[in-house]
Amino acid sequence: MMVKGATLPSDYETDPWVAAFICELHIFFGTPVTGIICKSKEDKLQYLWARIGIANALTVEESLWRAMKNKVNPEIAAEEFARRYFKITNKMIIEQVPYFSPKSEEPRALVDSARQKVPGAI
């Protein structure tokens, strides 16, 4: 489930455990931890996409990760949260980044399925 306008928790900037937990989620999924370290447009897109997924997951399953706050090491909590989130939603916290074709490519026409003949169809 996607929550419209999901944001990172309000204590992200003031609570060291929450900040470390979110950084560990980025590390767990292999995405840049901060926009400052992004060296290319692709890195920046990956960072932003990850941030959206993390914000959404933390909003949807807030009680799940809050229960681990200050009780479990942020690195272990991030992995456990990712596993539980997948088990509950059957989705990864950070889904695959959508592919947008470069502007130089010609748009591809969709096939009109009504005109297509299927062998054995009437």
Q: CB-based contacts of 51: which residues, under 8 Å, 6+ apart?
A: 8
Q: What does each C-alpha distance from 83 to 6, 17, 80, 98 come to in angstroms?
A: 20, 19, 5, 22
What whole-number distance in Å separates Cα of residue 71 and Cα of residue 50?
A: 25
- What pLDDT does 76 receive? 98
In a domain, 70, yes or no: yes
Q: Label residue 35 by pLDDT band (50, 70, 90).
A: confident
Single-letter code of the amino acid located at 108: R
Q: Of all residues in the chain, what percent carry a pLDDT higher than 70?
A: 76
Q: Encode pLDDT of 55-71 as tens digits.
A: 999 999 999 999 999 99
- Angle subtended at Cα 82 by Cα 81 and Cα 87, rounded to the nearest 5 degrees: 95
List helix spans (H) across 1-122: 16-29, 41-60, 62-66, 74-89
60: in domain: yes
Q: Assess if residue 111 is contained within a domain.
A: no
Considering the domain boundaries, does residue 1 fall inside one? Answer: no
In a domain, 18, yes or no: yes
| Cα–Cα distance for residue pair 122/106, rounded to 1 Å | 34
Give the residue among 69, 78, 66 at the shortest CA–CA distance from 29. Answer: 78
Average pLDDT of the segment spanning 72-98: 94
| CA–CA separation, 105 and 93 (whole Å) | 31
Domain residue limits at 49: 11-89
The per-residue pLDDT of the chain, averaged, comes to 85
92 vs 98, higher pLDDT:
92
Please give the tally of structural domains in the chain.
1
Residue 115 resides in a domain: no
pTM for the structure as a whole: 0.75
In a domain, 79, yes or no: yes
pLDDT at 113 over 80: no
User: Is residue 42 a part of any domain in this protein?
Assistant: yes
